[in-house]
Chain A
Amino acid sequence: MGKKQEPARNSTQRKYVKEVNRRAPRPPVLRNVILAFVTGGTVCVVGQAFTDFYAWLMDLTPQEAGNPAVATMILIGALLTGFGVFDKLAKVAGAGLAVPVTGFANSVVASALEFKKEGLVFGVGGKMFQLAGAVIVFGVVTAFIVGLISALLP
Chain B
Amino acid sequence: MYVRSTAAVAGPKEGRGPLGKYYDHVYDDNIAGEKTFEKAERAMMKDAALRAIQKAGLTANDIDFFLAGDLLNQVTVANFTALKVGVPFLGLYGACSTSAESLALGSVLVDSGAARHVVIATSSHNDAAERQYRYPTEYGYQRRPYAQWTVTGSGAAVLSAETGNVKVTGFTAGRVHDAGVKEPYNLGAAMAPAAADTIITHLNDFELTPGDYDLILTGDLGKFGTEMLFQQLSTGSGVDISKQHRDCGLMIYDRKEDVHAGGSGCASSALVVFGYVIEALREGELKRVLLVATGALHSPTTFQQGENIPSIAHAVILEREE
- Count residues of chain A with CB under 8 A from any CB of chain B: 42
- What DSSP secondary structure best describes chain B's contact surface? loop
Residues of B within 8 A of A20 (CB): 181, 186, 189, 228
- We find that the number of chain B residues with CB closer than 8 angstroms to chain A is 32
Question: Does A69 reach chain B (CB closer than 8 Å)?
Answer: no
Given the interface contacts A14-B180, A16-B179, A131-B139, does A23 sit within 8 Å of B306 by beta carbon?
A: no
- Please, which residues of chain A bring their CB within 8 A of the CB of B307? 7
Are A16 and B193 in contact, with the CB atoms below 8 A?
yes
Q: Mark A89-129, 1 if CB is under 8 A from B, else 0.
A: 11100100110000100110111011101000000000000
Question: Is B256 close to A, CB under 8 A?
Answer: no
Interface centre among B138, B228, B305 (most CB of A within 10 A): B138
Residue among A9, A12, A27, A111 making CB contact with B145, cutoff 8 Å: A27
Alpha-carbon distance between A88 and B307 when the two chains are bound, in angstroms: 31
Q: Is the CB of B35 within 8 A of A117?
A: yes
Given known A-B contacts A7-B306, A13-B179, A114 and B140 have beta carbons under 8 A apart: no
Q: A6-B306, A87-B138, A98-B140 are in contact. Are A25 and B180 (CB under 8 A)?
A: no
List B contacts of A9 (CB < 8 A): 180, 308
Tell me the smallest distance from the CB of A76 to a CB of chain B, in Å. Answer: 13
**A106 to B139 CA separation, bound complex (whole angstroms):** 6
Minimum CB distance partner of B304 in chain A = A4
The 6 A-B residue pairs with the shortest CB-CB distance in the complex, in nearest-first order: A90-B140, A13-B180, A114-B136, A4-B306, A110-B138, A110-B139
Q: Which residues of A contact B (CB under 8 A)?
A: 4-7, 9-10, 12-14, 16-17, 19-20, 23-27, 32, 81-82, 84, 86-91, 94, 97-98, 103, 106-107, 109-111, 113-115, 117, 131
